[in-house]
Amino acid sequence: MAKRILITGSNGLLGQKLVDLITQTYPEINLIATARGENRLPYAEGYEYRAMDITDRDQVLTVIGETKPDAIIHTAAMTNVDQCESEKDACWAQNVKAVEYLVEAAQANDAFLLHVSTDFIFDGAAGPYDEEAEANPISFYGWSKYAAEKVVIHSGIRWGIARTVLVYGIAHDMSRTNIILWVKKSLEDGKTIKVVTDQWRTPTLAEDLATGCFLIADQQAEGIFNISGKDFLNPYEMAIKTADYFGLDKALITQADSTTFSQPARRPPRTGFILDKPRQVLGYEPHSFEEGIAVLAGQIAAPKSF
């Protein structure tokens, strides 16, 4: 069992959920939260915060060398798929070089490294995928994340990889939206929205991803694990379920295909994950999409709870 856990990207959505989960449920764990710049979490109890820029090798080696974690959960990344297409150097620095520095630090301190990866390493021709499926990225973001997986796999350290899909949730002090909030606000404002029907995913509640990551790091479970939601849906179906939950007008939701939207990076049409391995090995069991909507609805009603 991991006694000391260090998280990268603690200001991000997944990072915040991990800090919440560990401080509230596992207070016996010594938690080190790290991110670039100031700590943006609304509370400072139950963990130690250290500023750490993952693209700065010296900082990574110093902070990890001084804090000596048993396990590192690496959540920080450049995840804007279109931005990665136009800013390839920044993407490679954050998504690949940073992983090389973390591997070096993990090696020097005999730490287990959990790397968070993505369904975008696949071309989306044959989803949902299991852990053995062959990668074939179709975007620069996908290539950067696949390259990072290879760095981890061939590193010689103890490692785990948590692959995930379309993460949604609400975080403190973040303007980031998600499909549920976007649909809810649009329909409440009486706007007609176009939602695609030709992309399939297993959308993942951020709290579920945090739980899956914690299970891997705590058990130091080695290998690749799919950590996602269990419902295989397209965005149109997600929008309809959101409208149903909040009692909003579904007539405002119109079907579209992805060719109607111009995006610099290609998206895999059909990903999603098979969850047999994390269920059997880790005891991972995610919420349904409807249950995920309910979690967000509760957080919207009581914003201090996240």
Which domains are delineated in the chain? 4-171+203-230+272-287 (3.40.50.720)
Euclidean distance between CA atoms 268 and 139, whole angstroms: 9
Alpha-carbon gap, residue 81 to 103, rounded angstroms:
24
| Mean pLDDT, the chain, whole residue set | 96
User: Over 70: is that where the pLDDT of 1 sits?
Assistant: no
Question: What is the pLDDT averaged over residues 129-135?
Answer: 98
Kindly report, residue by residue over 62-111, the tens digit of the pLDDT: 999 999 999 999 999 999 999 999 999 999 999 999 999 999 999 999 99
Q: What is the pLDDT of residues 157-204, one digit of tens each?
A: 999 999 999 999 999 877 778 999 999 999 999 999 999 999 999 999
Q: Are strands 71-74 and 4-8 parallel, antiparallel or unpaired?
A: parallel
CA distances from 108 to 62, 68, 101, 284 (A): 11, 10, 11, 31
In degrees and rounded to multiples of 5, residue 113 shows phi and psi of: -115, 120
| Identity of the residue numbered 208 | D
Distance CA 172, CA 176 (A): 10
Give the 3-state secondary structure percentages of the chain, helix then strand then coil, rounded to 5: 45, 20, 40
